[in-house]
Each structure stands twice: as structure tokens, then as C-alpha cells.
Amino acid sequence: MGIRRAEVHTEWHESSGAVKGLFRLGDAAENLRALLPEYAGRIKLVYMDPPFMTGDRFYMRVRVGAEQWRRGKGGMAIEAFQDRLSREAYLSMLREVLSLCRELLSDDGMIFVHIDYRAHPHVRLLMDELFGEDNLLNEIIWVYQTGGRSVRHFSRKHDVILFYRKGPEYDFNIDAVKAVPVKPRTNHMRRHVDPDGRVYRSVRVGGRVYTYYDDEPVAPSDVWQDLSHLQQKDPERTGYDAQKPLALLDRIVRCASRKGDWVLDPFAGSGTALEAAKRLGRNFIGIDKCPLTVNILRRRLAGADYRIECEAEPPRQAPVCEVSVCPGVGFYHIRLERFDVDLTGMPEGEALDAVDNWSAGYMKPEGYRVMAEFARSRREPQLLRELAVPAYAGELAICVSDVTGRSFYYALER
């Protein structure tokens, strides 16, 4: 059996799920422009969490080999992205991205732009100019408690999320995000218990009595203090520095889209918005220029019907890899024997330690179609060496992805 490098630009993942998705690896503006012919006026919700003009570099902690996965510790910190554009370059990039997002939004669509105190005043003015001051719905303050405390000024413990509509007929659904408050409102109110045993509070204002039941769902205000940021050891953590919590995106996706709508995140990072959309039955489109994100997305998007489009240069380094194909009862069993990658900084280990995830499937005219896949996890740290693929006519293929986010595709010549 021979093995031949294949230049793949589209990787298809199919499942029986109803959700459709697309992820494009590359520059936000460039890829948004490419989406216009098919998606202009069709996106219900844009969420974006661009860099914040911090001047910093951001990393991803990747686990190398079974031992690090098992312990959930150690690993290499690989640079994911730099947030070092000048203010001028940053705002010019954002202007282009926001204008394209506006074109992609449906007339009843909405956009949430997540920033912090540094970018906020500049982005607010930019949004007012592009979307119109009258279309600002909220300046949401997301308050969290994680991180250290400053002694030189008050600790900075909030982000700002600017929420605009595209036009007056927007489809906002507050009922979808009402929740029973953790602490009931007690201030200056009398406590009562009704004949059914339900606790309520009452207050008299201007001759009228207002009552509030403790177990009644309440809509959040524009100050969100009930959604915690990811903790150091949070099981949700993917290792991606700027990852946001799923609960935050769950609230945004619920109130600003409905099942079957399209949700777009042009700075998708670890894919939190895409996972929230998938879980809530929304279709999704994500873009990011960091290749490391693809390895995270293959884990987070499992169960959706999605494709990854990779405009990046195909990797040049040819790994050594042996694959045996045994036709079974209606299946091919594909075994991964070796995959050697020269990674600076990687500890000496087993030959397959550099493999983060791999899959097997078929080469099709539209790209590489994944039929079986495996990604290491804390539960399954050891690389599964064999994948079974239904025996169809067509060219068998595999994709092996290393811990740095490079994906190598091969067609298997039988």
C-alpha cells in the first residue's frame, strides 16, 4: 500500500445532527468578504471578541503525549496570537470587519462586540458610526472576580459588551434568558408565604403594592455579575489563553437567535460561541487566523455537520508515517504506526506523542470527508492507534494533526 501527500483545503465532518457549521482558518476581513455572495443578509447574530489592544502576546498550553493528558498538567505554551497592532491599524482592521459583518447580518439581526476598557471608547464611537447611535441597545458590563488584585489602582474586573441591532425590527427574545435569581430581592420588602407555600416579597410604592415571587424567573439587566469567568482548573478550559466561558455565550446566543438561525464569530478563538450555537441548535460560522484553534474545534464541534476550510499554505515538512489497511467485515481498519515531527521544545517521548488528533475517511471531489476520528482527552489520553472506516468505493485517506495545529493529509493508495 502506498501513501501520498494530499493537498486538502476542505475537511468535512458529517453527523446525523441538524446543525450545520463552517470554520475558515485565516484573516477575518478576507474571509468575511468571501462569505458575502452566499451569506449576505442571512446572519442573525454576530458575536465578536477581537483582541483588546493590550499590546500582549497570547498563548495556548498544549499537552504532549498521554502522560501530560492523563495528569492534566505540564505541556508546551505555544504562541496563539499577538495583540500588538497600533491603535490606527487596529481600528482600521476592525472598521473593515464590522462593516462586512453589517452586510452579512439580516435586517432583524444583532451584533455583540466584546471588548475591555482599553478598546471600549474607540470601538463605541466606531460602532455608533457604522451601526447608528440609535441602534445601540446595551452597553453590557460583565463583572468577574478571577485574577489577581491590584494595589496601584482598583482591580479591573469587568469587560464591556456592546450590543447593537441592525435595524428597528430586530428579533430579541428576553424570555429565553430569564432565570430564577440565586439571591432573592429582599431590600425593604416584606416577606410572605402564599397558600401554596411559595415565598414572595411585597413593597408599597405610591399607593400600589408590588409583589415578587422568589422562584419567579427574572430577566438579566445590563450588568452581568452572575456569570463567572473560567477558573484556573475549570474543566471547560481548552488551554487557549483568551477563552470565554460557555455560559456567557449561551446567554447571548439564546436571546439573539432562534433554532436554525446562523450565528457568526469572526474571531472565534477556541470556538466558545460556535459550541454555544451548536448546543442550542443554531448553525454557525467561525473564522480565526490561529491554526491551533482547529485542534480545539475538532473536539468542541463534535456532533455537528461542519466543515473546516483552510486557506493556509499546505505544510511542507513531510512526516514519516506507516499505515496498514485491512479490509474487515465491511470496514477498513487503519492503523497509525509512526508519526515523527521535529518540534523544538518538545520533550523526548514516544513516536506518536506529537499527534494531538487524527481521523480517517475518503478523498472526495469537494475535499476530505471524515468518517472516524480520535482526539486525546483526559478520559482517553492514550492515542487510539486504529480507526475503522466503512468500506465504500473511493480513495481512502487520513489526516494527522500535530500539537502545533498543523494538519497533514494523505491519500492511501491500495
Ligand X SMILES: C[S@@+](CC[C@H](N)C(=O)[O-])C[C@H]1O[C@@H](n2cnc3c(N)ncnc32)[C@H](O)[C@@H]1O
Point out which residues bind ligand X (CB under 6 A): 27-28, 49-51, 80-81, 93, 240, 242-244, 267, 269-270, 272, 287-290
Angle (nearest 5°) at CA 189 between 186 and 192: 95
Q: How far is the CB of 51 from ligand X (least distance, A)?
A: 5
Closer CB to ligand X, residue 114 or residue 165?
114
Q: How far is the CB of 243 from ligand X (least distance, A)?
A: 4
Contact 163, 138 (CB under 8 A): yes
Q: How far is the CB of 321 from ligand X (least distance, A)?
A: 29
- Helix or strand (DSSP H, E) at 125: helix 120-131
Closer CB to ligand X, residue 270 or residue 401?
270
- Side chain identity at residue 377, one-letter code: S
Closer CB to ligand X, residue 135 or residue 293?
293
Please spell the DSSP secondary structure of 345-410, one letter per residue.
Answer: TPPS--TTTTEEEEEEEEEETTEEEEEEEEE--SSS-SPP-EEEEE--SSEEEEEEEETTS-EEEE
Contacts of 261 (CB under 8 A, 6+ apart): 44, 45, 282, 283
Closer CB to ligand X, residue 275 or residue 353?
275
Helices (H) and strands (E) in the chain, counts: 7, 23
Q: How far is the CB of 131 from ligand X (least distance, A)?
A: 20
Q: How far is the CB of 130 from ligand X (least distance, A)?
A: 17
Q: How far apart are CA 231 and CA 143, in angstroms?
A: 14
- Give the CB-nearest residue to ligand X: 269
- Helix or strand (DSSP H, E) at 120: helix 120-131
Instruction: Give buried/exposed letters for 334-367 (b at 16+ CB in 10 A, else e).
Output: bebeebebebeebeeeeebbbbbbbbbbbbeeeb
Q: How far is the CB of 60 from ligand X (least distance, A)?
A: 9
Closer CB to ligand X, residue 194 or residue 311?
311
Question: What is the three-class DSSP state of 84?
Answer: coil
Closer CB to ligand X, residue 285 or residue 290?
290
Closer CB to ligand X, residue 65 or residue 269?
269
Q: How far is the CB of 304 from ligand X (least distance, A)?
A: 17
